């Protein structure tokens, strides 16, 4: 989405760590900082005691009281991201687990703004002062750049007459999973909260319409162009 505005993220101290990373087929990572954001958001939503249960259910007991370092090195595996989503469903039940994953997505946006703003100045961008359509285009471009630059996730953007389309071509949220329906509730929650933040509290219809975990080519999330009244 070309909006005519400069939403580049500029230089940052740990650029070398990203430039030296070349993903190996089948071995993909979030930055440690992103993994840390997810874990801190989960702890906010479900509490420390149940967080320990989820980490054990995900096969990640080494992360108990030992979250990844707060840096941009790509060291948090996609398998860990998807494993945490599946573990939430295992510990809390499928329906409640999925709803909690969506709430964790909401919390991720707020934790992520705190963690990434000193590097990127996200909160200082004049996104919320723009007309709605341009505000959404700039916001999607900015979010896509964050994921594409600070992880091995691949996001592309498109749209049709009714929806903006957030297309995850390499998705960590459902990595290696097999489900009967779309399961990237974490990603849906992040987008829901991002839209609310960028538009000063307005809400939009956000729905995952295709998912690699259920055999689709991409994980595609449709965002209605008109706010919900």
The 3-state DSSP class for residue 124 equals helix
Task: Provide the edge-to-edge strand list for the sheet that holds 219-224.
Answer: 154-159, 163-170, 219-224, 206-210
Query: What is the phi-psi region of residue 145: left when phi exceeds 0, alpha when psi lies from -120 to 50, beta otherwise?
Result: alpha
Give the whole-number percent of the chain exceeding pLDDT 90. 68
- pLDDT band at 58, cuts 50/70/90? very high
- Residues for the chain: how many in total? 229
Average pLDDT rounded to a whole number, residues 32-57: 97
Average pLDDT over residues 117-135: 67
CB 211 within 8 A of CB 184: yes
pLDDT band for position 124 (cuts 50, 70, 90): low
Cα separation, 128 vs 209, in Å, equals 27
User: What fold characterizes domain 27-224?
Assistant: H-NOX domain (3.90.1520)
Average pLDDT for 190-214 = 93
Looking at residues 71-95, what average pLDDT do you find? 97
Confidence (pTM): 0.87
Quote the CA–CA distance of 159 and 165 in Å, as a whole number.
Answer: 5
* pLDDT for res 8: 47
Residue 6, pLDDT > 50, answer: no
């Amino acid at each position: 989405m070309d909006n005519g505005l400069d939403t580049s993220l500029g230089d940052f101290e740990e650029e070398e760590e990203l430039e030296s990373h070349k993903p190996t087929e089948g071995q993909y990572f979030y930055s440690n900082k992103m993994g840390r954001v997810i874990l801190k958001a989960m702890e906010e939503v479900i509490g420390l005691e149940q967080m320990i249960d989820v980490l054990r259910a995900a096969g990640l007991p080494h992360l108990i009281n030992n979250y990844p370092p707060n840096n941009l090195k790509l060291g948090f595996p996609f398998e860990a991201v998807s494993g945490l989503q599946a573990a939430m469903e295992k510990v809390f039940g499928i329906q409640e687990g999925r709803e909690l994953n969506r709430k964790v997505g909401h919390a991720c946006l707020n934790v992520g703004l705190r963690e990434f703003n000193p590097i990127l100045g996200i909160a200082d961008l004049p996104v919320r002062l723009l007309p709605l359509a341009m505000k959404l285009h700039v916001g999607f471009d900015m979010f896509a750049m964050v994921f594409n630059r600070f992880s091995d996730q691949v996001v592309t953007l498109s749209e049709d007459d009714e929806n903006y389309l957030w297309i995850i071509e390499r998705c960590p949220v459902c990595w290696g999973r097999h489900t009967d329906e779309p399961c990237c509730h974490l990603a849906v929650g992040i987008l829901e909260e991002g839209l609310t933040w960028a538009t000063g509290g307005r809400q939009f219809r956000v729905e995952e319409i295709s998912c690699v975990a259920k055999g689709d080519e991409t994980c595609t999330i449709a965002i209605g162009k008109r706010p919900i009244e």
